[in-house]
Structure 1
């Protein structure tokens, strides 16, 4: 009995020691907040006092780059690998799924004994094996696809009193989405502290992404104009709410005694999404989210860890990228694991002042659906940026290769490609070698797996199919998109497959309209066709039908699934955007 008690005591002491020695980590990432969307970076209208305090207390990276869109950034952040190599280069069309071969950030932390939690946006897949609870997160409060109100999200959801997904189960919550994510994250951290366990918290807000919904308390102070320019009141209001929550988080960390031994990392996933915000103040940069110019991908990065004795209150101007954060946190937290696939480099020595500069590097960012040579790509070296510009008469862009030196031309208005041919040619050569190496990895198929015990039944959404762009209400209403899913059948068996035009929880008939007060979105669905493996069947539908059910035996292995809705002549109208698969 004594030996047993001694063992329990030693285990308890070991757990407390681990928590005391290893820092906690909070990775806070906002959605579509640009570099200029905070007062500490010079915004003349927006007030962000809590972010400004964090800025003053942190190491700031002033030449830090994400991808120009959310999914590629998130996949690079979680894997430490370029989007082209991990496969997640787009927000939908089957390209928001990073290859499951790559180990993710929470898995490294979990292997080291950390508690891992995600509270907020994932956007890296909504079916097995891509959901966060299968990629290393032990506690997950999130939503599907790109955000609340997306096609895959719970029907009728918005930012107030939303239905959220808690560990894979839809659950109603009360309040504003950002407040909920912060509040629930703080409850989770408090519990981990009681357990004496270090934690890794990923807190990626879905704001200030569209739809721009926020209480008047936050938006009213920004209504009006500034020097003749429209102020984006709701957009700025959402950031004001984030700022308030950062203040609450700071109070919580101090009260719980967690502040000094918690690494707090604050960044954004891409440039600003709001055109009025870009026009009003964009820190001198060109363009916004989605573009290969600085305004699309240069974002803030603040890092604070009091016990780590970092170079707080200073700026680091080295060219750095979101892929660098995983190896950096592994070094700061002494995590073990295979780093051979990483394309990022650790910034730990820069943060600690042990190193002033990184070895010379070139960084490539490329996103998109086809990822051909130079499509949506930018090559970065020191202060040089190389882009192949698309012709645009409206913006007076003639097209062709463009080289910019942002040290002298931060707004990227002067193409100096012909003036510095050696620099341009070296960057072109590097990119072509990089693309040749990355492209085969990008082409590797990524499969959704049906019939496992992990997720049965399993739902397929059109945002994850290969085919037409269809991840938002506009695509759902239009009712024209078509596609198919690449699948792995986990085991032989009989499978029931349900096809729907509208989400299951809506209860809407296949032929119904979007809002029931107009014909918007109504389709003359009279038949449904399912093709999977060797099975190919078409069934008639009834006007009141909400679902069409098929049953078929499937063999284990890879296959494709195509689910179409047809008119009475048998012509395809669109794909079934919601499919449910159950192994019987």
Structure 2
């Protein structure tokens, strides 16, 4: 791996805390004009910080996390989606944690990872010394199988993974994560540290302590905007209730950040600690979004523009707005330069260092191009895709051979809320952007990490047994069953005998047939009945190499039964 050193004058390396919340939109804090949500800590922090007012991320969470960890467009990293095998980052990617660890930093990751749950894709495999995380895309999702098995109240007393070991915690999830973040800071205050504090709130399910919900139970989140002429969505009663719960979850995060910031102050390390606060994408449900169009999942501004506040009192003058468009993949090169770390030169980095903007040395980073795309299972060439350069933004939601007038073109400076499609009067600008969009798209889908799978490696001392969860499964169509069938790409590290356990969603089942396919090998087993949904297939010989493991389970009348997870235990 080639590196280039960053040239910085001698100075004390700053600590870094990167705070990311989940599905908190641009309008889900008081600073940007929401009269309902109570976020005094975040609002005060925003006023003290350098604010990137046009900070762009990906439309959904795993792609954003891959880009900010690597400094690269997410499709280059192999991450294209949030599940169905699309949220596993290639293990040869180089993360912020890896470059800062090489620069002498202690590294910690707490909360939501969502870039692969098996060796070699876990956070501890990607440069983090300390980890406390849940699985999959959220607590209690099907891929987060330990909490999914616990029932509905998944945000309370969650089962987490601490340095690779399962632990049962006590308390509300955001409180638990903050407690551990404070402990990490206290343990590592003598050395420069990098802490990635990644809250899973306010992502659904919208579970929050009563004390916080009671702060909002009587408000109407659709009212209070009488003097605001920005677009506002229609909210039914369910959307209003969702907003109340989201605001409650955000207020809980706000109180937790107050505790963390007070800890930094008490240890007298706040001045030399860079704190970045941002969110991973837009809001999930329609509510106040400071007038922006769209929400999570969309390439409109409401889906990809998020708060981004940066504070390092010892170096940056605060209380400043930066209007220059910037992005999640700018974080890695910025931290590399700031922290005297080394960046890889053997791959394309899409980000640029923001240090000249943060130090008020420059007002622009040049005429950059920003592309965004997301389709479930995609990408698709002209579906939910956008590209922006200077004042113009082209959006595609059309067919592959569609005329340019089927696209949307906005002057994002004059029309920040994307209300006036000007493609019919600006064909020339739209065609130039479409050419850039085509070049970008073709570049992304030809990337080596996009064109290959990223298997879990089983049969090693690093992780045994390996539990393959449904979030990381790859689904293939089975026309006979009219059903998508789940399987997992694995790399068997050693030829030998393995015990395999298939856990089904259904617990009590009669007359079961199992066809376990591993590469070209097929093992069949008939089971009279199950009471716990677990099928044991022990002492199975697996050959070293890459294969796909597919448990094809059928019940009475041949109906396909989807697996919940598969456990593979190497008998050393």
Q: Same fold (TM over 0.5)?
A: yes
CA root-mean-square deviation: 2.1
Deviation at 1:468, TM superposition (A): 6.7
Question: Are 1:113 and 2:107 counterparts?
Answer: no
Q: Using the TM superposition, name which of 425-434 and 150-159 deviates more.
A: 150-159
Question: In structure 2, what is the equivalent of residue 554 of structure 1?
Answer: 542
Q: Using the TM superposition, name which of 210-219 and 68-77 deviates more.
A: 210-219
Deviation at 1:376, TM superposition (A): 2.5
Deviation at 1:372, TM superposition (A): 2.4
User: What is the distance in 2 between the residues matched to 1:525 and 1:455?
Assistant: 33
What are the equivalent positions in structure 2 for 1:89-168 lying under 5 Å apart? Answer: 89-153=80-144, 154=146, 155-156=149-150, 158-168=154-164
Question: In structure 2, what is the equivalent of residue 452 of structure 1?
Answer: 460
Question: In structure 1, what is the equivalent of residue 229 of structure 2?
Answer: none
What are the equivalent positions in structure 2 for 1:261-272 lying under 5 Å apart? Answer: 261-272=272-283
Question: In structure 2, what is the equivalent of residue 582 of structure 1?
Answer: 569
Change (3 A) 1:534 1:483: same
Secondary structure at the aligned position of 2:361 is classed as coil
Question: In structure 2, what is the equivalent of residue 406 of structure 1?
Answer: 412
User: What is the distance in 2 between the residues matched to 1:260 and 1:118?
Assistant: 22
Structure 1 segments (4+ residues) deviating >4 Å: 226-229
User: What is the distance in 1 between the residues matched to 2:438 and 2:290?
Assistant: 31
Contact conserved, 1:482 with 1:564, CA < 8 A, in 2? yes
User: What is the distance in 1 between the residues matched to 2:33 and 2:142?
Assistant: 36
Contact conserved, 2:510 with 2:528, CA < 8 A, in 1? no
Q: Which runs of 5+ in 1 are unaligned?
A: 1-18, 392-397, 470-478, 503-509, 513-522
Question: Are 1:175 and 2:171 counterparts?
Answer: yes
Question: In structure 2, what is the equivalent of residue 13 of structure 1?
Answer: none
Question: In structure 2, what is the equivalent of residue 539 of structure 1?
Answer: 525
Q: How many residues align?
A: 527
Secondary structure at the aligned position of 2:407 is classed as strand
Question: In structure 1, what is the equivalent of residue 73 of structure 2?
Answer: 82
Question: In structure 2, what is the equivalent of residue 437 of structure 1?
Answer: 443
Deviation at 1:559, TM superposition (A): 1.1
Question: In structure 1, what is the equivalent of residue 495 of structure 2?
Answer: 492
Which one of 196, 202, 205 corresponds to residue 199 of structure 2?
Answer: 205
TM-score (norm 2): 0.88
Secondary structure at the aligned position of 2:43 is classed as helix
Question: In structure 1, what is the equivalent of residue 371 of structure 2?
Answer: 364
User: What is the distance in 1 between the residues matched to 2:186 and 2:484?
Assistant: 45
Question: In structure 1, what is the equivalent of residue 352 of structure 2?
Answer: 345
What are the equivalent positions in structure 2 for 1:211-360 lying under 5 Å apart? Answer: 211-223=205-217, 224-226=219-221, 230=240, 232-275=243-286, 278=287, 281-308=288-315, 310-339=316-345, 340-360=347-367
Q: Which runs of 5+ in 2 are unaligned?
A: 1-9, 224-234
Change (3 A) 1:227 1:214: closer
Secondary structure at the aligned position of 2:515 is classed as strand
Which one of 172, 191, 197 corresponds to residue 187 of structure 2?
Answer: 191
Secondary structure at the aligned position of 2:561 is classed as strand
Contact conserved, 1:449 with 1:490, CA < 8 A, in 2? yes
User: What is the distance in 2 between the residues matched to 1:20 and 1:85?
Assistant: 34
Contact conserved, 1:87 with 1:97, CA < 8 A, in 2? yes
Change (3 A) 1:226 1:206: closer
Contact conserved, 1:89 with 1:366, CA < 8 A, in 2? no
Deviation at 1:44, TM superposition (A): 1.7
Contact conserved, 1:84 with 1:366, CA < 8 A, in 2? no
TM-score (norm 1): 0.87
Deviation at 1:422, TM superposition (A): 2.2
Change (3 A) 1:484 1:409: same
